[in-house]
């Protein structure tokens, strides 16, 4: 927390503290802690509640050191911070605990103590001392602690630094500063190849600064970046995984919890790309009732990280609790799942599962996504879906990529209405294709109901599959009804001769049109018509076409998209304009698996006669029409070339990496 901040303290009379200790002992006193119990009272090896809030972790020579704010004494509300309920306790110091196993912690005492005899000192009990973090400088052999130092009214907003010769102190306080000429509140430290960086809330919490420290880690070098401008974050966390930098933080709501933030970057100084709320499970929208403190890797275990958070009790800060939870990665998103009880074997199990996982599983990635367009670009699979939400919220597209159909990376907001001035809502059913080294994304927008409304089918372009995409034409490619077809649900088909066709249409009508070579418009057919209707029997929306063994397979969705009977059927012809003969329905609900299976695309693996169908469906029990998920299952043909009915599964398709 911070300015209009929020802050942490701890309070209790000696009698109340004795009662708390007795209660804690009755709840979780055990010979040795064997697992993590987020939110419960956590006792040290002497049976006392651990007192290290807003803390950080240092791993040094086989031992973990947990540093945090010592919260003892009366919780009270200063007059100067009543407006935002800035409860606090007097500063007593920074406490350290040590452990070999992350479960059983020995109290090493106050490693940095308050200075009660000097009212002007930064560590006087009347001041603020928060968010201590410690790193070891291998050059100077010093342990360096940085912390947030402030006045009672939070107007000083400074960064304090102290050093020690041992991880257990004592630390010697050096000074406090206002780095880069700005204020400094909540903060964290991060070591990267021997260089130390400090990330902190500045500009009254409006912006996060990331500053490189000097080689001795005692000053700011002057090299820094302003990131997440106007995003108002605090409780910053930075860690590294798979060559990327990961960031987590909270919003600024005082002591009250809010949804966690996350972001990723290729360089610690940015640019940073914001991701989703990493929390999953009960109270995920408020970080399980807590606030981020630190993330650290577990020594000796691959891809194992622990997320540390504090569950603040603002009117009785002594009874604030700790939330330690396993952090995982799902694609390009760090994920923290709620677990009431867990232990370190969790990471061994996940490592075993990851090594053994040979199928994609359905849905293939989390979230409500529909109308998936699956394509192959080089050595990667890509899926471009609709964000399945109310129309007024459908103002952007996300994309997902995978090297093997099992591990998916999310690419957020590759295109949104800010880049398409004529689009306001209902951005639907993207269709993706590469041409001439550029990537085109065709899409519907605004859900127009007549020719007087603005909207229809647009096209965007980018230099890479993940975008960012920009509006290609500055106006819709198709903005009117032709042959009764609503201009939505477009698919771009490349024929054997290199001609690209657009096949599209809603309201039970489907048109085909010849795209110009540069995709800026359409070329009339030899008879002068631009849009030819090819609507097959049963057609509703969502057309798709592919060519196999000289035959054109024309597929579509039928039934109501919000209902359980939404499904996929197909027809066949000898030419892209037909005439098409309806064959059968091949994808539909399974009452034991899911309902509303439809609006699909097809993936054919290069140089192999293997096909998969990419589609959306509605999980059993879901009644909201927008609650749709993206799935992939195998699609097979019989000896006559007819598509066999697809079996929808929970297991999905097998892992399959693309060959160079």
| Residues noted as catalytic | 371, 541
Strands 380-387 and 396-402: antiparallel
| Tokens 């309201």 belong to residue | 507
> What contacts 123, CB < 8 A, 6 or more positions away?
91, 93, 112, 113, 114, 115, 129, 173
How far is it, in rounded angstroms, from Cα 494 to Cα 482?
22
CA distance between the termini of the chain: 49
How far is it, in rounded angstroms, from Cα 320 to Cα 306?
19
Nearest CA to 51 among 97, 90, 7, 91? 97
User: Edge-to-edge strand order for the sheet containing 273-274?
Assistant: 233-241, 244-251, 261-265, 273-274
Q: What is the DSSP string of 110-141?
A: EEEE--TT-TTSTTSTTSEEEEEEEEEETTTT
User: Edge-to-edge strand order for the sheet containing 456-462?
Assistant: 428-435, 438-445, 456-462, 470-471
Contact of 249 with 234, CB cutoff 8 Å? yes
Nearest CA to 148 among 95, 190, 201, 225? 201
Phi/psi at 485 (5° precision): -85, 120
Question: How far from the centroid of its chain's Cα atoms is residue 319's Cα?
Answer: 31
Cα dihedral 581, 584, 587, 588, rounded to 10, equals 120
Q: Count of alpha carbons within 13 Å of 656, Cβ hemisphere only? A: 16
């Amino acid at each position: 927390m911070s300015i209009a901040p929020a802050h942490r303290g701890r309070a209790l009379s000696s009698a109340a503290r004795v009662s708390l200790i007795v209660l804690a002992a009755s709840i979780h006193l055990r010979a040795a802690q064997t697992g993590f119990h987020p939110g419960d009272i956590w006792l040290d090896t002497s049976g006392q509640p651990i007192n290290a809030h807003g803390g950080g972790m240092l791993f040094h020579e086989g031992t973990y050191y947990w540093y945090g704010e010592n919260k003892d004494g009366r919780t009270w509300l200063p007059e100067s911070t009543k407006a935002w309920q800035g409860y606090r306790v007097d500063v007593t110091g920074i406490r350290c605990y040590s452990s070999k196993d992350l479960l059983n912690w020995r109290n090493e005492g106050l490693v940095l103590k308050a200075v009660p005899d000097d009212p002007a000192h930064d560590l006087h009990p009347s001041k603020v001392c928060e968010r201590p973090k410690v790193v070891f400088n291998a050059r100077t052999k010093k342990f360096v602690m940085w912390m947030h130092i402030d006045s009672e009214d939070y107007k000083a907003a400074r960064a304090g630094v102290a050093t020690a010769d041992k991880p257990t102190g004592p630390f010697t306080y050096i000074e406090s500063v206002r780095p880069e000429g700005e204020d400094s509140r909540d903060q964290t430290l991060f070591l990267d190849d021997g260089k130390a960086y400090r990330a902190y809330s500045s500009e009254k919490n409006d912006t996060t600064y990331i500053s490189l420290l000097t080689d001795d880690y005692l000053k700011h070098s002057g090299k820094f970046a302003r990131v997440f401008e106007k995003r108002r974050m605090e409780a910053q966390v930075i860690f590294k995984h798979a060559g990327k930098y990961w960031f987590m933080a909270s919003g600024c709501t005082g002591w009250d919890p809010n949804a966690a933030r996350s972001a990723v970057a290729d360089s610690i100084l940015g640019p940073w790309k914001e991701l989703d709320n990493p929390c999953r499970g009960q109270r995920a929208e408020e970080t399980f009732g807590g606030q981020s403190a630190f993330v650290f890797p577990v020594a000796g275990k691959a891809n194992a990280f622990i997320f540390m958070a504090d569950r603040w009790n603002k009117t009785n800060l002594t009874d604030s609790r700790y939330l330690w939870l396993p952090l995982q990665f799902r694609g390009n998103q760090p994920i923290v799942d709620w677990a009431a009880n867990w232990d370190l074997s969790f990471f061994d199990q996940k490592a075993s599962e990851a090594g053994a996982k040979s199928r994609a599983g359905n849905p293939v990635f989390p979230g409500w996504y529909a109308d998936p367009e699956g394509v192959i670009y080089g050595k990667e699979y890509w899926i471009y879906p609709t964000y399945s939400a109310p129309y007024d919220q459908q103002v952007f597209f996300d994309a997902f990529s995978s090297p093997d159909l099992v591990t998916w990376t999310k690419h957020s907001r590759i295109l949104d209405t800010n880049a398409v001035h004529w689009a306001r809502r209902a951005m639907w059913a993207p269709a993706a294709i590469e041409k001439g080294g550029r990537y085109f994304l065709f899409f519907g927008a605004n859900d127009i109901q007549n020719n007087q409304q603005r909207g229809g089918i647009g096209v965007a372009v980018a230099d890479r599959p993940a975008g960012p995409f920009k509006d290609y034409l500055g106006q819709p490619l198709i903005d009117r009804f032709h042959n009764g077809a609503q201009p939505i649900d477009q698919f771009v088909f490349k024929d054997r001769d290199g001609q690209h066709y657009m096949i599209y249409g809603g309201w039970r009508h489907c048109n085909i049109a010849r795209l110009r070579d540069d995709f800026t418009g359409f070329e009339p057919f030899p008879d002068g018509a631009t849009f030819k209707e090819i609507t097959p029997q049963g057609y509703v929306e969502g057309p798709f076409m592919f060519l196999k063994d000289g035959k054109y397979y024309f597929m579509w969705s039928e039934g109501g998209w919000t209902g359980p009977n939404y499904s996929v059927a197909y027809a066949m012809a000898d030419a892209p304009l037909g005439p098409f003969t309806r064959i059968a329905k091949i994808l539909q609900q399974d009452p034991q698996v899911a309902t509303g299976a439809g609006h699909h695309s097809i993936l054919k693996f290069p140089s192999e006669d293997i096909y998969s169908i990419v589609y959306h469906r509605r999980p059993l029990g879901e009644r909201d029409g927008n609650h749709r998920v993206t799935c992939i299952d195998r699609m097979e043909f019989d000896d006559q070339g007819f598509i066999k009915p697809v079996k929808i599964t929970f297991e999905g398709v097998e892992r399959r990496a693309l060959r160079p």
